[in-house]
């Protein structure tokens, strides 16, 4: 996916088991949708906590933060509680949404705990992608660029 593309709609459960649909989220404004490899890993924790720490900046810009990984609802819930994450984390257990967004890795990477490429999609309220941020090493660039693209 690239800027200008239409983001694929999906419906997945969040860490509370509530099903979230992208099209319904977009009715409330733009979305910073960040895919991360796995909860409780150092890089993903740093990235998720940075999204948490910028809550007021995202609120001011009217941008929703949504995380998504292959972790199940229980693991997402435990991670949310441990780090006081204040936004939905979606459970894409079978990787179908990661596949639709082009960020699903091969089985080899999945076997070593990296089933999803760390990628953020800044999605405008009309469903078009404003920016695609892909970095495996700079955990803060995802939130910073999403804010810049949508703010």
**What are the pLDDT digits (tens) for 8-24?**
999 999 999 999 999 99
Catalytic residue among 31, 32, 44, 85: 44
Confirm whether 49 is a catalytic residue: no
Domains of the chain, start order:
5-150 (3.40.30.10)
Closest CA to 116 of 99, 135, 141: 99
Write down the pTM of the prediction: 0.92
Question: Above 90 in pLDDT, residue 129?
Answer: yes
Alpha helix segments (H runs only) across 2-140:
22-26, 42-53, 55-61, 73-83, 96-100, 107-111
| Phi and psi based region of residue 55 (left: phi greater than 0; alpha: psi -120 to 50; beta: remaining) | alpha
pLDDT at 110: 46
Q: Is residue 125's pLDDT more than 90?
A: yes
Mean pLDDT of 39-64: 95
Rounded to whole angstroms, the Cα distance separating 107 from 60 reads 40
Per DSSP, 127 falls in state S
């Amino acid at each position: 996916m690239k800027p200008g593309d239409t983001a694929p709609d999906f419906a997945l459960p969040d860490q509370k088991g509530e099903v979230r649909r992208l099209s319904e989220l977009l009715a409330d404004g733009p979305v910073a949708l960040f895919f991360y490899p796995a909860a409780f890993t150092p890089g993903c924790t740093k990235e998720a906590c940075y999204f948490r720490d910028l809550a007021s900046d995202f609120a001011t810009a009217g941008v929703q933060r949504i995380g998504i990984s292959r972790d199940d609802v229980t693991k997402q819930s435990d991670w949310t509680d441990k780090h006081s994450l204040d936004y939905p984390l979606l459970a894409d257990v079978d990787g179908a949404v990661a596949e639709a967004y082009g960020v699903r890795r091969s089985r080899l990477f999945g076997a070593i705990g990296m089933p999803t490429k760390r990628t953020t999609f800044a999605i405008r309220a009309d469903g078009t992608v404003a920016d695609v941020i892909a970095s495996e090493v700079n955990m803060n660039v995802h939130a910073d660029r999403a804010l810049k693209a949508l703010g």
